[in-house]
């Protein structure tokens, strides 16, 4: 627009200025001529038309420029339109013409007209126009480039602003995710939180989080997200180049990296695998796949997404490692390291909870107290290591024989507690008999040598028959165990509550010993 204005205004202004100057000049000189001619007319009112020499002399006083052939002419015309005097031929058209009237004692008798050819002025204007056009073109080019530069800068600025906003939002979400991860109680919960946040942090990417199974030979898909998540549920560590190389691995799309075996062959988009490692331990894999090839480019450079993925992987790794550590510490706090059974502390925590559940769901609970017979003598005979080996073997056996819902604890020393959820008297007795039978057959070794066989004594108390709370029931089972010991060991005694007061538990108040068979 500015260039067009310059291109047009320069010649227009030039023409206008020259035209106005010429017009003023013509008008002025014409008026002077008219006054002089009028004086002649006044002097010779009847014959002025015929005094052509005198009139021509008056008209001769013109600018030198005007006298050039074909440029200007002046003529006197009477009222009838007849030309009285004309200085020269009519100039080349187009013309500018200015008239001044002639008077005979105040009455109009004709006019004097100056004519000037505009041709040279038009040529001048054309030249100026060409210069204007050239100048306009230069200005147009310069402005266009400036505009382009400004547009580029604006785009860059907008892109930078967009990146900053995106990164700021990503940082906020990452921090928020960190907060949620810190509050997660299990790896599964953490995986769900990661999936939910990653969808918001880098929505252009689909993906999955794989967690290493306890045996560390398989990765299981814990969560998936995005429009095009991978469909494989499992993968082996050796199927992923990232896990094999111990570093982030990019493939597909414009990348030249090898495509992992766990990536389905029909995936043509860019993929990114991030190993989740903490303190040298492989915890899992974060797998990302671009929602559409090259789509990530629209929102910023790959480096930015990669960095955020690294951050997500680090946060996820730390969270899962913390959960594992927490789980390990908890296990350590509630388990007996020798037998890998729960300890007494866990029993006290969980027993009341199980009883509350039984109360609500109206089912029975069987509580056993059992003790290795003559364990002190065994220790004295074979040593503490042998004793530990026996306890370890017994613990393993107990874990094998109970259901996942049951609880087996090392109560202390060679004494164990078993809680069988939903077991009635008969089931409990039958189960105890099978256990005692297997214990008698249990073979253990100490120092490379087979150790002597062991037996166990067991006391059984039942909920709700023998008590409503854990302490009472444990006390009842303990009383029954005491009776079993006193009755000759290697047997089960079921607690027998006194007829008038079940809470007054005393030795011998069992309903009968079940001796070894």
Partner 1 sequence: MNRRRLLIAAAAFCVVGPGWAAELVRIGGSGSCVGAIELLIREFRKIHSDVEFAPVAAIGSNGALSAVSAGVLDIAVLSRPLSEKDRAAGFQGIEYARTPFVIVVPEKMPVAGITKQELAEILSGKRERWAHGERVRPVLRPPDDTDTDLLKRMSPAIAAALDTAHKRPGMIFAATDRDAADSVENIPGAIGTSTLGLVLSEKRRIKPVALDGISPTLKAFETGSYPYHKRLHVVWGLRKPRPEAGRFIEFVSSPQALAILRQTGHQVPPFRGN
Binding residues (CB under 8 A) for partner 1: these are 38, 41-43, 45-46, 101-108
Q: How far apart are the first and last CA of the chain?
A: 112
- How many other C-beta atoms are found inside a 10 Å radius of the C-beta of residue 151? 10
Are 249 and 272 within 8 A, CB to CB?
Answer: yes
Q: How far apart are CA 275 and CA 280, in angstroms?
A: 11
Q: How many helices (H) and strands (E) does the chain have?
A: 12, 19
Minimum CB–partner distance for residue 45 and partner 1 (Å): 6
Question: Residue 42 or residue 231: which is nearer to partner 1 going by CB?
Answer: 42
The pair of structure tokens assigned to 16 is 């206008």
Judged by CB, which is closer to partner 1: 80, or 500?
Answer: 80
Q: Which two tokens stand for residue 6?
A: 């310059």
3-state secondary structure of 176: helix
Query: How distant is the alpha carbon of residue 101 from its chain centre?
Result: 89
Give the nearest distance from C-beta 105 to partner 1 in angstroms: 4
Q: Assign residue 22 a region (left: φ > 0; alpha: ψ between -120 and 50; beta: otherwise).
A: alpha
Q: Which is nearer to partner 1, 106 or 450 (CB)?
A: 106
* Separation CA 422–CA 428 (nearest Å): 10
Nearer to partner 1 by Cβ, of 107 and 134: the residue is 107
Of 46 and 303, nearer to partner 1 (C-beta) is: 46
CB of 36 to partner 1, least distance (A): 12
Q: How far is the CB of 107 from partner 1 (least distance, A)?
A: 7
Rounded to whole angstroms, what are the CA distances from 52 to 26, 40, 60, 61? 22, 11, 12, 15
Q: How far is the CB of 79 from partner 1 (least distance, A)?
A: 13
**Nearest to partner 1 of 111, 197 (CB atom):** 111
**Cβ atoms of residues 414 and 457 within 8 Å:** no
> In angstroms, what is the minimal distance from the CB of 124 to partner 1?
35
| Shortest reach from residue 21's CB to partner 1, in Å | 26
Q: Which is nearer to partner 1, 42 or 217 (CB)?
A: 42
Q: For partner 1, give the closer residue by CB, 14 or 100.
A: 100
Smallest separation, CB 101 to partner 1 (Å): 7
Q: Whose Cβ is closer to partner 1: residue 98's or residue 410's?
A: 98
Q: Which residues share a beta bridge with 287?
A: 208, 273
Nearby residues of 230 by Cβ (< 8 Å), 6 or more positions away = 206, 207, 208, 221, 224, 262, 263, 264, 267, 287, 289
Strand pairing category for 492-495 and 456-463: parallel
Closest approach of partner 1 to the CB of residue 62, in Å: 21
In the numeric block, which tokens belong to residue 116?
């000037």
Distance between CA atoms of 351 and 475, rounded to whole angstroms? 13
Residue 467 Ramachandran class (φ > 0 left, ψ -120 to 50 alpha, else beta): left
| Angstrom distances, CA of residue 367 to CA of 288, 349, 396, 466 | 51, 15, 19, 10
Query: Nearest approach, Cβ of 100 to partner 1 (angstroms)?
Result: 9
Q: How far is the CB of 50 from partner 1 (least distance, A)?
A: 14
Measured CA to CA, the distance from residue 364 to residue 422 in angstroms comes to 5
Residue carrying the six token digits 């928020």: 176
| Separation between Cα atoms, residue 285 and residue 241, nearest integer Å | 11
Q: How far apart are CA 517 and CA 514, in angstroms?
A: 9
Nearer to partner 1, 46 or 400 (CB): 46
Distance of closest approach, residue 20 Cβ to partner 1, in angstroms: 25
**CA separation for the pair 79, 32 (Å, rounded):** 20
Which is closer to partner 1, CB of 41 or CB of 212? 41
Nearer Cβ to partner 1 (108/403): 108
């Amino acid at each position: 627009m500015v260039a067009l204005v310059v291109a047009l205004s320069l010649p227009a202004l030039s023409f206008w200025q020259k035209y106005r100057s010429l017009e003023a000049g013509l008008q002025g000189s014409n008026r002077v001529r008219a006054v002089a001619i009028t004086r002649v007319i006044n002097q010779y009112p009847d014959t002025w038309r015929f005094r052509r020499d005198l009139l021509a002399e008056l008209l001769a006083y013109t600018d030198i420029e005007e006298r050039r052939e074909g440029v200007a002419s002046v003529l006197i015309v009477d009222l009838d339109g007849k030309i009285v005097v004309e200085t020269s031929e009519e100039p080349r058209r187009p013309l500018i013409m200015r008239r001044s009237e002639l008077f005979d004692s105040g009455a109009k008798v004709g006019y004097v007209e100056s004519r000037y050819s505009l041709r040279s002025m038009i040529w001048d204007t054309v030249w100026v126009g060409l210069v204007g056009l050239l100048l306009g073109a230069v200005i147009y080019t310069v402005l266009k480039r400036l505009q382009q530069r400004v547009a580029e800068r604006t785009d860059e600025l907008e892109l930078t602003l967009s990146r900053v906003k995106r990164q700021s939002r990503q940082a906020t979400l990452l921090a928020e995710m960190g907060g949620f991860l810190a509050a997660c109680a299990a790896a599964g919960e953490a995986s769900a939180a990661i999936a939910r946040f990653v969808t918001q942090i880098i929505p252009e990417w689909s993906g999955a989080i794989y967690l290493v199974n306890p045996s560390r030979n398989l990765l299981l898909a814990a969560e998936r997200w995005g429009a095009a998540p991978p469909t494989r549920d499992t993968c082996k560590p050796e199927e992923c180049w990232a896990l094999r190389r111990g570093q982030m691995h990019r493939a597909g799309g414009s990348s030249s990296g090898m495509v992992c075996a766990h990536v389905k062959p029909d995936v043509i988009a860019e993929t990114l695998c991030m190993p989740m490692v903490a303190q040298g331990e492989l915890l899992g894999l974060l797998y990302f796949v671009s929602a559409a090839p090259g789509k990530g480019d629209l929102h910023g450079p790959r480096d930015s997404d990669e960095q955020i993925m690294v951050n997500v992987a680090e946060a996820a790794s730390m969270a899962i490692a913390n959960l594992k550590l927490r789980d390990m510490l908890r296990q350590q706090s509630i388990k007996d390291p020798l037998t890998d059974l729960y300890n007494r502390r866990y029993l006290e925590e969980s027993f009341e909870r199980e009883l509350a559940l039984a109360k609500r769901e109206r089912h029975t609970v069987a509580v056993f107290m059992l003790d290795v017979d003559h364990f002190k003598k065994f220790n004295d005979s074979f040593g503490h290591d042998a004793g530990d080996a026996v306890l370890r073997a017994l613990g393993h056996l107990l874990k094998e024989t109970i259901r996942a819902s049951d609880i087996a604890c090392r109560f202390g020393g060679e004494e164990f507690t078993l809680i069988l959820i939903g077991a009635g008297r008969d089931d409990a007795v039958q189960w105890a008999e099978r256990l005692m039978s297997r214990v008698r057959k249990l073979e253990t070794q100490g120092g490379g040598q087979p150790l002597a066989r062991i037996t166990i004594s067991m006391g059984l108390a039942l909920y709700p028959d023998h008590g409503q709370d854990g302490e009472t029931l444990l006390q009842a089972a303990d009383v029954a165990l005491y009776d079993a010991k006193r009755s000759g060991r290697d047997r089960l005694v079921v607690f027998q509550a006194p007829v008038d007061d079940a809470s007054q538990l005393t030795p011998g108040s069992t309903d009968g010993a079940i001796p070894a068979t």
